[in-house]
Structure 1
Amino acid sequence: MGKAGRIACIFTPYVLTLGALASLIVVWLGCTKSSSDSLNNIYYFRADLSNLTASGGSSLLDTLSSDLGDLTNLGSDDFEAALAIAKSNNDIRDFYDIGLMGYCAGNKTSSGSYEVDYCSKPKSQFWFDPVSVWNLNSTTSDTEDILPSSLKKAINTYKTVSKWMFIAYAVALVATVVELVVGLFAICSRLGSLATSIVSGVAFLFTIAASITATAMFAVLKGAFESALKQYGMHGSMGKNIYVATWIATAFAFGASLFWLLSSCCCSGRSPYHGDRRRGRNAVTAEKAPYTYERVGSPYGATPGDIPPVAAPYTQHQNVPMETYHRQNAYEPFRHV
């Protein structure tokens, strides 16, 4: 019963840990395979460039054609000129989805659906660089100032924070795997549960830190994207599935950490027999074998705990068989059981 109770005690946190690991894996696999519609719908941010226009509202390609390639007439800044050149060279796709380790791109159909046909190679500490991806550096060598100032500041912040976010997700994933391995030792004792609860605490802290960072960072990036590029017909939106996955992972990690801690305080897994033996007592009472003898109370027939009556003074006139009251010849009566 001890081991069975111990296994039942750690079943809940172990299942919660498996749920956290599965949810984190979903986050990691987002935007990594162009042929998978399920993975393509797991993204943090989508940049929709299907309706690119000049700052005045006219088509970039129409403006470029009418001016015969005179980039000085395209707009008041180099960014609009770079957009026109990239669009004419088919370097800009209709949309871009940003994931944890890469991005996916594709075209928007006439029905309004998004079809992915390309995903970048997964890369550690990935961040989406619009200047290089959209090939906006073909018109100028000064790529630092080609983006609008408000968007450039947001992109630089995103570049820095995205590296920390990747590290947080990596630590959360590794800690969750270690938690599952160490959790196997929790079957043996509460000390194993204590060690597992420490690891689960680390996994939870980095999971919630990564989730908060991703949600806040891309919310800020969306706002900067909309305010700086809306005049060019660009639209930014946040994904849904990847945020559901990361916050489910956070909830599972919290539940696992809580139940691992509880399992370290109860369900020791030691049977009562072993517990009594540690205290010098045998918890199992052996059955009496037939035809054995045990000492009876004094006087005969008294129950343990009874106060024995005071014996009458002995006189020589009393017939005491076998001289029971003489110490040198005294014997102890036994009863047959």
Structure 2
Amino acid sequence: MGKAGRFACIIVPMALTIASFICLIIVFCGQIKKDVSLSNDLYFFKAVTKDFVDDPDHAIDEANKYFDNELLQALQGKASTKDLKDFYTVGVFNFCEGDIDDKNKETFTYCSKPKANFWFNPMEVWQLSNTSVQQLFPDDMKNVLDTYHKVGRWMYAAFVIVFFLTIAEFLVGLAAICSRWGSLVTTIVSTAQTVFFLAAAITTTALYGSLVGVFESVLRPYKIKTSLGGRMMAVLWLGVAFAVASGFFWLISVCCCSGKSSHKKVVVEKTPYTYERVASPYLGHRGMEGHEMTPPAGHGTTGSAYEPFRQQQV
């Protein structure tokens, strides 16, 4: 019952740890390949430039009500040469782009190679970097992109740390089957994993939320729309919820189900059967006066071989 009870005690936090890991892997898979529908539906940030690409002259006329600079003409040039795609989506390791048909069906045409410390730079993607046009972006957009670039490194590092801590939590959790000490060590690892997972989720949400807000205010006049990926955020925060729950149940497992059997082996020492020799006049023995006594005649015995037991009358 000890080991079975211990196993039953840790099965819940172990399952929650696995669920948290699965959510993390799903987040990592977002935008990895252009031919995988599940991957295409998961993104942190999305920019739709279709309205600008379809009718750049009209978009420029509308934007001229707010701006009068070279950025409009630069974007128009990219749209006319098809360098500006209909939409862009951003994941953890890379971005994807594609076209939108008249029925609003999206077709992914390209995904960049996954790389460490990835961040989405629209000026580079739209081939506007290292030009005078880059200086035409408003300061708010430049500042948020600079922050995104710097904080994005921490965000990526946090996700990688969570990945390895989750694996460690699972492996160390196997030792928790044996004792509560294993649960204690697993709880420590789980706490660290939860802290980094929560920090990564908060940073990601705040960072891409700010990015969407600034892009909306700056690029809306250009008929460029941006949005936050609801499905990706849901999976991300679901993984955090699983991580928090697993840490709680690992802590509970420290206090119960020691893994030792509750039945103690009881050793009963058997008392050997003894008998007591009957005193005179049935047995011959040396009495108080030191005389040898002999059994009386008529008992069917000869000599000293007769040795009767004392019988208790009931």
Which band: TM-score by shorter chain?
0.7 to 0.9
TM-score of the two chains, using structure 1 as the length reference: 0.76
| Aligned with 1:284 (options 252, 255, 266) | 266
| Aligned with 1:99 (options 63, 66, 91) | 91
> Which residue of structure 2 lines up, in the alignment, with residue 39 of structure 1?
39
When residues 334 and 114 of structure 1 are mapped into structure 2, their CA distance, relative to the original with a 3 A threshold, is: farther
Q: Following the alignment from structure 1 to structure 2, what is the Cα–Cα distance between the partners of residues 109 and 155?
A: 30
Q: Following the alignment from structure 2 to structure 1, what is the Cα–Cα distance between the partners of residues 311 and 220?
A: 106
Identify unmatched segments of 5+ residues in structure 1. Answer: 64-74, 277-282, 296-319
When residues 240 and 294 of structure 1 are mapped into structure 2, their CA distance, relative to the original with a 3 A threshold, is: farther
- RMSD in angstroms over aligned alpha carbons? 3.0
How many Å apart are 1:78 and its aligned residue?
2.8
Q: Following the alignment from structure 1 to structure 2, what is the Cα–Cα distance between the partners of residues 185 and 53?
A: 58
| Aligned with 2:217 (options 223, 227, 232) | 227
How many Å apart are 1:38 and its aligned residue?
0.9
When residues 143 and 171 of structure 1 are mapped into structure 2, their CA distance, relative to the original with a 3 A threshold, is: farther
Does residue 9 of structure 1 match 2:9? yes
CA contact (8 A) 2:123 2:134 kept: no
CA contact (8 A) 1:79 1:146 kept: yes
Q: Following the alignment from structure 2 to structure 1, what is the Cα–Cα distance between the partners of residues 268 and 112?
A: 73
| Aligned with 2:188 (options 194, 198, 213) | 198
When residues 110 and 189 of structure 1 are mapped into structure 2, their CA distance, relative to the original with a 3 A threshold, is: same
How many Å apart are 1:285 and its aligned residue?
4.1
Q: Following the alignment from structure 1 to structure 2, what is the Cα–Cα distance between the partners of residues 128 and 322?
A: 113
When residues 143 and 165 of structure 1 are mapped into structure 2, their CA distance, relative to the original with a 3 A threshold, is: farther
SS at match of 2:52: coil
- Give the number of the structure whose alpha-carbon radius of gyration is greater: 2
Cα displacement string for residues 15-51 of structure 1 (whole angstroms, at most 9, x for unaligned residues): 0000000000000110010000111100011100001
Aligned residues: 280
CA contact (8 A) 1:27 1:42 kept: yes
Q: Which residue identity is paired with 1:214?
A: T
Cα displacement string for residues 77-120 of structure 1 (whole angstroms, at most 9, x for unaligned residues): 23222212211221110000011111110011111122212111
Q: Which residue identity is paired with 1:22?
A: I
Q: Following the alignment from structure 1 to structure 2, what is the Cα–Cα distance between the partners of residues 255 and 334?
A: 74
SS at match of 2:176: helix
Q: Following the alignment from structure 1 to structure 2, what is the Cα–Cα distance between the partners of residues 334 and 3?
A: 53
Instruction: Report % sequence identity.
Output: 38
Cα displacement string for residues 288-337 of structure 1 (whole angstroms, at most 9, x for unaligned residues): 69xx5389xxxxxxxxxxxxxxxxxxxxxxxx9669xxxx99xxx999xx
How many Å apart are 1:228 and its aligned residue?
0.4
Does residue 133 of structure 1 match 2:141? no
TM-score of the two chains, using structure 2 as the length reference: 0.81
> Which residue of structure 2 lines up, in the alignment, with residue 51 of structure 1?
51
Q: Following the alignment from structure 2 to structure 1, what is the Cα–Cα distance between the partners of residues 234 and 204?
A: 12
